[in-house]
Each structure stands twice: as C-alpha cells, then as structure tokens.
C-alpha cells in the first residue's frame, strides 16, 4: 500500500540520502491512537523542536512567508528558520531557511493504519530580495518527517533525499556550506534527527 504521505518522499537522484526510524509498541490501540495524535502535534509544533529533541541541537522557529515569527502549528507554505551550532550564512542573515512544501494525512480505519507527513525544502531568505538558496544544502534536497500508527505500533521516520551542498561561484557561503554539509553527513544530522523523532514518540505521559 502506497499512501499519499509516503509519496511525499522524492526519488533519490544525487547526493546523500538518509533514512532514520524510531518506533514503539503501546499496551492498547487507544494508547497508540493517543500517542499518534501527540506525535503529530509535536511534529507541527516546529518552534518547540529543540525542546522535543531534549538535547543540544539546532534552534527552529516557524515563520510566515515574510519571515515573521509564528506561534501556531505549522501549515503548508510556512517557513522554518534554523540556527545550527555552526557559523551562520551570509545569505540567510545567520540562519538556514526551509519551506514547508506539503503536509499530508491518510487514514485507513479498517486496517488500523494512519499516517501523517510533512516535507520541507531549502529556500531563499524571506527578508531579502535575493534568489539564492539560504541553506547549506541546495534546493534539490528535501527532509520528510512521517508519523505512522499500525494498530498498537507507532513509528516516526525521517527521510533525507538528494542532500547536495549548496555551492556556486557567486555564492558567499560556498565554503561554509561545503563544511557544514560534510559535518551533517558524517557527524551531526543523524543524531539530531534521531533525537527529534524519539522526542515525537515520548510516551511517558501515557503511563
């Protein structure tokens, strides 16, 4: 079965791809349904991701298309402003920026299966008129976050696709982007995303 949420994950064409997974099994379907809703809400509560990850990590702030901070759950076409623990971009005024391209929910009650996903892609700095991508990856890259429930089983997944450094002869951040991309591939990003998706499925409050 290929639901619409998994269709959000693009084909891998170049660069690096990542697939990270965390899952838990609950005592009852009612508990699993409750955790699915909690995890979905945590996914949409972008500005709390650093707290959800419960570890030293990047800072995330949801904004509108103009870069103004938002205090609500994420919607399609919102932006996310990211401050990573590394030198910031000139292009992004010290931040990396991504655009929320799509949010999808599918429910198959006869199969005890439901799934929710959000895909983001590097984008320009909304505070400037420039058209350069303000992120260490090019705009070919995507990150897709998925929450699934299969009966009592709740799963959180991260899919990174086409992770290619954002470089160019006229881009002031080329050296920085290559360095940060290499660090993301070799060191930081797996731990960052695993901490986050584990945080999505923290179910101590259900005990």
DSSP H or E stretch at residue 44? helix 29-44
- Count of domains for the chain: 1
Shortest CA distance to 173 belongs to which of 140, 138, 142?
A: 138
Q: Is the pLDDT of residue 170 over 70?
A: no
pLDDT bracket for residue 186 (50, 70, 90): very low
For residues 15-22, give the mean pLDDT.
93
Q: What is the extent of the structural domain holding 107? A: 4-206
Spatial contact of 78 and 62, defined as CB atoms under 8 Å apart: yes
Report pTM: 0.91
Pairing type for strands 96-108 and 79-83 reads antiparallel
3-state secondary structure of 9: coil
Beta strand extents in 13-152 (DSSP E only): 16-25, 59-63, 79-83, 96-108, 113-122, 142-150
pLDDT bracket for residue 181 (50, 70, 90): low
| Digit-coded pLDDT (tens) for 37-58 | 999 999 999 999 999 998 767 8
Q: Residue 135 is part of a domain; what is its CATH number?
A: 3.30.530
pLDDT bracket for residue 185 (50, 70, 90): very low
Rg (alpha carbons) of the chain, rounded to whole number: 17
């Amino acid at each position: 079965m290929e639901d619409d949420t998994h269709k959000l994950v693009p084909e891998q064409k170049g660069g690096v791809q990542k697939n990270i997974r965390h899952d838990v099994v609950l005592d009852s379907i009612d508990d699993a349904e409750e955790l699915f809703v909690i995890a979905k809400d945590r996914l949409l509560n972008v500005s709390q991701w650093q707290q959800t990850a419960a570890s030293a990590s990047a800072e995330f702030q949801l904004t509108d298309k103009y870069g103004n901070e938002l205090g609500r759950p994420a919607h399609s076409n919102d932006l996310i402003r990211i401050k990573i623990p590394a030198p910031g971009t000139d292009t992004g005024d010290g931040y990396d920026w991504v655009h929320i391209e799509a949010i999808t929910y599918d429910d198959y009650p006869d199969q005890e299966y439901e799934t929710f996903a959000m895909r983001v892609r590097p984008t320009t700095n909304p505070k400037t008129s420039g058209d350069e991508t303000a992120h260490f990856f090019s705009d070919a890259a995507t990150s897709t976050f998925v929450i699934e429930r299969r009966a009592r089983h709740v799963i959180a997944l991260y899919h990174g696709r086409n992770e290619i450094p954002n470089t160019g002869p006229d881009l002031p951040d080329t050296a920085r982007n290559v360095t940060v991309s290499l660090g993301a591939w070799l060191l930081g990003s797996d731990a960052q995303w695993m901490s986050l998706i584990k945080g999505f499925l923290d179910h101590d409050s259900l005990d």
